[in-house]
Structure 1
Amino acid sequence: MKSVLGVVLAASAVMGAGAGASAGAVGPEVGVGLEAGVGPEVGVEADLAHHGHVSLWDGRVGVWLVSENHGPSDLSQATVRLAFSEPMAGGQELPTACLWSSDRVVSCRTGELRAAGGVGELALDLRTAGLPDELTVEITTAWRDGAAADRNPGNDRHRVLVLATGDPYVF
């Protein structure tokens, strides 16, 4: 099981059609779109959902994440935030669609998510700074490009307790 999971987690991020955006950019630039009358259209709605699993073993954390848009509006991209209760080891490279926000937080672009079927996938294989027996991962949508509303925010916010057993904890 661990070897299959390791192969899956070692895969690079597959980020949908929106992956052509600039590397490392995970959200709007500061100050852009804040002028009066500029910004998301009133009434634009996208229902983002994040699902997958997290595993912890021998000081390694594996995350496999699928982001979906249940509509009704398309999104050119969104940002998902993964916050870990334990610090990660320094010097680790992330997929080009992701960046370190701190030693405990990774933020990643989803790529384009079309309404009712747009899917972005992400696989991370990270080293923890120590050898924790457990950790918590919080998965949230940090930004939705052009969408002012998500009437079902519960499916894009998860808190997962992961024990160092190597087992996948599903969210």
Structure 2
Amino acid sequence: MRGLRVLAVWGAVVVGLAGGGTAVAVGGPEADLAYHGAASMSGGRVDVRFTPRNHGPAAVPDATVRLRWSEPLVDRQTLPDGCARAEERVVLCRVGALAADEVGERVEMRVRLLGVPSEVLLEIDTVWNGGTVDRNRENDRQRVLVLDSGDEYYF
């Protein structure tokens, strides 16, 4: 079952990136995706949790979010269902379908960084939005600097 979820994530990304870069539709229905949550780091472990939301007006048939760290991740990671390692510093997570004005399921993960850096920059953005147009890209692109303090940093 996990293999099918990983394939679904990769299928959405392949379709979304066929034109290169981030998948943003030009003439589809309009939807406004947003991600809000928190991240903390201690001893090279980063805990991230966020909730996707579609502010509408249209539904999003499927979405995938990209989490990119400024530091490489260790090779072996235990990721939540629907998430897959894409690159040395990137994890992709399938958010799934979101009706207009709907909050999706919260995504929670712990990743381990290679080494024990004093800080890491985490960038979150939509890589696939199911063919919808998102004219407000500011709230689905988040950047948060996380210090190795154990404190939570909100985005």
TM over 0.5: yes
User: Which digits, 9 at most, give the CA deviation of each residue in 1:76-115, with x for residues without a partner?
Assistant: 2201000000111111121220111112000100022110
Query: 2:5 aligned to 23, 34, 39, which one?
Result: 23
CA distance in 2, matches of 1:164, 1:93: 21
The residue that corresponds to 2:104 in the other structure is: 119
Which stretch shows the higher mean deviation, 151-160 or 114-123?
114-123
The corresponding residue for 1:72 is 57
Cα RMSD of the aligned pairs, angstroms, is 2.3
1:129-144 correspondence to structure 2 within 5 Å:
129-144=114-129
TM superposition shift of 1:70: 0.4
Letter in 1 for 2:148: A
Matched, 1:151 2:139: no
Q: TM-score, normalised by structure 2?
A: 0.85
Within 2, Cα distance between the matches of 1:41 and 1:135?
A: 33
Q: SS at 1:46's partner residue? A: coil
Q: Is the 8 A contact 2:65 2:95 kept in 1?
A: yes
Q: TM-score, normalised by structure 1?
A: 0.78
Matching residue within 133, 146, 149 for 1:162: 146
Q: Which has the larger radius of gyration?
A: 1
Q: Is the 8 A contact 1:140 1:157 kept in 2?
A: yes
Alignment of 1:48-63 (within 5 A): 48-63=33-48
Structure 2: 5+ residue stretches without partners: 20-24
Secondary structure at 1:71's aligned position in 2?
A: coil
Residue 113 of structure 2 aligns to which amino acid in structure 1? T
Classify 1:151/1:41 alpha carbon distance in 2 versus 1 (closer, same or farther; 3 Å): closer
Cα gap change, 1:89/1:75 in structure 2, threshold over 3 Å: closer, same or farther?
same
**Which blocks of at least 5 consecutive residues in structure 1 are unaligned?**
1-19, 35-39
C-alpha distance 29-138 of structure 1, shift in aligned 2 (>3 A): closer
Give the percent of matched residue pairs that are identical in Structure 1 and Structure 2. 45
